[in-house]
Structure 1
Amino acid sequence: MAADAPSDGASAAAQHRVPTRTCPAATRGRPEHRHIASRPIAEASDCSGLVGAAWRSAGVSLPRTVKQMYDAGRKVAKSDLQPGDVIYWYNDNQHNGMYVGNGKAIHAPRTGKNIEIVPLDSMPFFAASRP
């Protein structure tokens, strides 16, 4: 790849129109798990709240519920996952999180539990979408 050619992450940032400066810890303009997990997020009390707060920190508004996020997102194949993609486990309305790369995802197990980074296949993978 040429030195001045955009990386896949840069292309994704341009495609999603998420400016890197909006979220200083963002990975090439995508919401990044260390940014979201390192500070209290009152509205991120459940799985979809965490995903919504992460994307909001990068300037992108998502619907509130798992089902609404699933219906609104552009579906991506598991083999095409990029950090920031929304992961759905079990079905289209039960549980979601965000892909962070290297076969791992971040999620809020349930209200009152700590945010976790887990292997992508730690729960039955159903689908993924890209806001």
Structure 2
Amino acid sequence: MASPAVVAPVFLWDPEAWDLLAFDSVEAAARHLQPWQEVGMLAAYDAEGRRIGFALERRSRLLLGLIPASKEVVVVGEVEREPRYAGDLRRAIVASLARRGTGCEALDGRSLPDLVAMAARARRA
């Protein structure tokens, strides 16, 4: 069964730091994360509010064609089929933009696509 399409941009939200980052793709978001980070502590959403999960994968290769080496990398895990977290994404975007000085009057009544565009411009990683 194929994974649902991820609609860019992809957002990483750290609720403890109130930090929101935007990425052009889910792969770019995965490359930004480090294996030592607790990837499960960050909320990741696509532009429509689908939750995106990340996982650790061990990759092996031969150095100089002789020496076995392995490392852990962050990879895309599960992607929700339906965008059930649009409200959470909206709250994260509004909190992030407000924290950076965008007035509430500029955010009230905006559609999610408008907020996504504003956040992507402001927080492109």
Q: Pick the TM interval, shorter chain.
A: under 0.3
Compare CA radii of gyration and give the structure with the larger one: 2
Q: Which one has more relative contact order, counting CA pairs under 8 Å at least 6 apart?
A: 2
Q: Identify, as 1 or 2, the structure richer in strand.
A: 2
Q: Could you state the TM-score of these two structures normalised by the residue count of structure 1?
A: 0.26
Q: Could you state the TM-score of these two structures normalised by the residue count of structure 2?
A: 0.27
